[in-house]
Chain A
Amino acid sequence: MTEDYSLNYTDTDIDLMQSLKAPGKGYWFLLVFLLLLIAAGAAAWGVQIAEGIGVAGKNNPVGWAMYITTFVFWVGIAHSGTLISAILFLFRVKWRAAVYRSAEAVTIFGLATAGLFPFIHLGRVWVAHWILPVPNFGGLWPNFRSPLAWDVLAITTYLTASTLFFTLGMMPDVAIVRDKTRGWRKKVYGLLAMGWQGSDNQWRHYTAAYVFLAALSTPLVISVHSIVSWDFAMSIVPGWHSTIFAPYFVAGAIHSGLAMVVLLLIPMRKAFKLEKYITGHHLESLAKFIIFTALVVGFAYSIELFVSWYSGNPFERAIFIYRMTGDYAWAFWLLITTNVLVPMLLWSRKIRTSIPWLVGICISVEIGMWLERFVIIVTSLAHDYLPYAWGIYKPTLVDSLIVIGSFAWFFFLFMVFSKTLPVVSMWEVKEQINPPTKSGR
């Protein structure tokens, strides 16, 4: 970005505040459409609460199905944000400045969506507080040896750290909006800016806090999805009990998260005319990253198959044969195709610099990553040790509507964010361009 000498501090503010202008009809239409889908999902949840969890199609032996699949999917989506905002910051990657704000929003909204599913999955949502690390009336605490208890703590910590990092990064930008608006907007943004003035003293503490929050968030990129993977790997269910699950899940999470960031950046830069800031170079860099994560995910799939064969364990071998040839074989082969084979098209520069191709490939990755979790969860439960206990799971209208509603909820949150807060970090873009000087150098 420093090579673009046409950018300056004044134009940067004007350009990047375009997104805060009053929305058009298309925006409102889409927002209402998303609200209707959310209402449908909420109604389906209401039916489930009234009728019982059986209406979600879950029964022995498949007790974890679409809800946990979608929970893991959304936690995975959340991972790109911290990767881009924290890790790329620590490595001083310059192209991060223009895209990290949206990626962080993806993290927070991804977690806000994922966080709904444990409650939905519980069935008896009114006793959700039992999972909190406080003793119940009998003095009994949650079982801290259980990965489910770690998971609650990990997701809560991730959401807290991401929200604080997002809030901190936003403060100087909200102050810019405060200083450039009038009337009620000035008052609202003034409150959000918390009296930020950009004094050297404030910047000194700000930059220190920013580095430490980035450093503390970085291990979370690895640990949160590792802990989510241990929800499965700590059990003895065939197809789950594997030491490669943690890195395998982390790679998949970053794979889907990057694809989601690309899918949101492309329409956003078009709608808000941000092509000068979110350039083809940014999208191409993300596309290259997706090639890398696709290769890691593909490697994990092949190692998983190898381990099941090499272990000599008949149950492990059986579950992988079932995955490839059984009731859900269509999903298995589709996920291999969409997650690994289709992203290989990005090796072609012509394809990775083509917006329609990039959108298509990223949608393919999202479908593949959702299916990956579905296959891992459902096939292992449907077909474990004892043949007389085998069974299959079929989605119902209730759980399908809730899953669709969750997607609507995520995009709704992102759309509201894109019209109320700066979608590109103005102060960090300014760090990348030449400051105003009298000498012009």
Chain B
Amino acid sequence: MMPTPGQPYRMGIFAHLDTLLAALRRLPADGFREIEVYSPTPHHEIAHLLERKPSPVRVFTLVGGLTGLATGWVMTIGSTLLFPIVVGGKPIVSIPPFGVVAYITTILFGTIATFIGFLVNARVPQIKVVDGYDERLSSDHFGVLVYSAPERIIELERLLTTLGAVTITKSQGL
């Protein structure tokens, strides 16, 4: 379930990975299911507990690669047919050398599409970081951003403290 726009949240900052993992097991059990985790490096244990869907970046890669493949063939065959000159006695449409070009454009378009896929899905570039972001999160701490109904915010703060959060930061306004 996605949080509604403007829904309040609290970010619990954890100094240790094991306390963070324990919190990730406990929070959904207490009804707090809209969670985002911040970490200095990706961890399999976090990904496993959050059970996110596979990234759609792979679709961008596939579409980009196929577009590149088609572009390579169209560019080489089309350009030689537009101006048909026999060079070195080779056929006007020379499949082996044009295959080299199509191979290169497949990779070129595939890499560009992959990068675009990352930017679109990860929502970067962003002008500013999320409210409540703590500068330790990129270095040596872990964060759990938990959305909550306004009436359960106090309960959430207590729970995060109980679970071992060293700091709790807030969403703007609430």
Binding site for B on A (CB under 8 A): 8-10, 13, 133, 135, 139-141, 143-146, 149-150, 153-154, 156-157, 160-161, 164-165, 167-168, 171-172, 175-176, 178-180, 194-209, 212-213, 216-217, 219-220, 223, 227, 427-428, 430-431, 435-439
For B65, list chain A residues within 8 Å (CB). Answer: 216
CB pair A150–B38 under 8 Å, yes or no, is: no
Contacts of A198 in B (CB 8 A): 38-41, 137-138
**Residue pair B115, A141 in contact (C-beta under 8 Å):** no
Closest chain A residue to B110, Cβ basis: A216
- Whether B57 contacts A212 by the Cβ 8 Å rule is yes
Please indicate the chain A residues that have their CB under 8 angstroms from the CB of B126 in the complex: 194-195, 197
Interface contact A204-B55, CB-CB below 8 Å: yes
A residues less than 8 Å from B27 (CB atoms): none
Instruction: Report if B149 contacts A (CB, 8 A).
Output: no
Tell me whether A195 and B42 are in contact in the complex, defined as CB-CB below 8 angstroms, given that A150-B97, A160-B111, A438-B16 are known contacts. no
A220 neighbours in B (Cβ, 8 Å): 107
Q: A164-B114, A200-B50 are in contact. List 17 more A-B contacts (CB 8 A).
A: A9-B140, A144-B79, A145-B97, A153-B104, A164-B115, A179-B138, A180-B139, A195-B127, A199-B145, A203-B42, A208-B54, A209-B57, A209-B114, A213-B115, A216-B61, A427-B40, A428-B41
Contact of B17 (CB < 8 Å), options: A157, A171, A197, A435: A435
Q: Separation in Å of the A86 CB from the closest CB of chain B?
A: 11
State A186–B15 Cα separation when bound (angstroms): 24
Can you offer 7 A-B residue contacts whose CB atoms are under 8 A? A144-B80, A195-B129, A197-B38, A202-B124, A216-B61, A436-B17, A436-B140
Q: Is the interface of A mostly helix, strand, loop or mixed?
A: helix
**CB <8 Å contact, B82 and A141:** yes
Among the listed A10, A200, A435, which residue makes an inter-chain contact with B36, where contact means beta carbons less than 8 Å apart? Answer: A200
Contacts of B107 in A (CB 8 A): 157, 161, 216, 219-220
B122 surroundings in chain A (CB, below 8 A): 201-202, 205-206
**Binary per-residue interface labels of chain B (112-141) against chain A in the complex, 1 for a CB within 8 Å, 0 otherwise:** 101101100111111111100101111110
CB-CB under 8 A from B128, the residues of chain A are: 195
Q: Is the CB of B108 within 8 A of A161?
A: yes
In the complex, the answer to whether A135 meets B79 with C-beta atoms within 8 Å is yes
Query: Do A203 and B125 have beta carbons less than 8 Å apart?
Result: no
Q: Does B70 contact A (CB under 8 A)?
A: no
- Complex contact A430–B41 (CB within 8 A): yes
A205 touches B138 (CB 8 A): no
- A102 to chain B minimum Cβ distance, whole angstroms, is 20
In the complex with contacts A144-B79, A197-B133, A207-B97 CB distance below 8 A: no
Q: Of the candidates A176, A194, A199, which one forms a contact with B38 in the assembled complex, judged by CB atoms under 8 Å apart? A: A199
Chain B residues near A165 (CB-CB < 8 A):
111
Task: Select from chain B the residue with minimum beta-carbon distance to A141.
Answer: B79
> How many Å from the CB of B114 to the closest CB on chain A?
5
Assess whether A437 is in contact with B115, with CB atoms less than 8 Å apart.
no
Contact A9 B139, beta carbon cutoff 8 Å: yes
Q: Closest CB of chain A to B106's CB: distance in Å?
A: 9
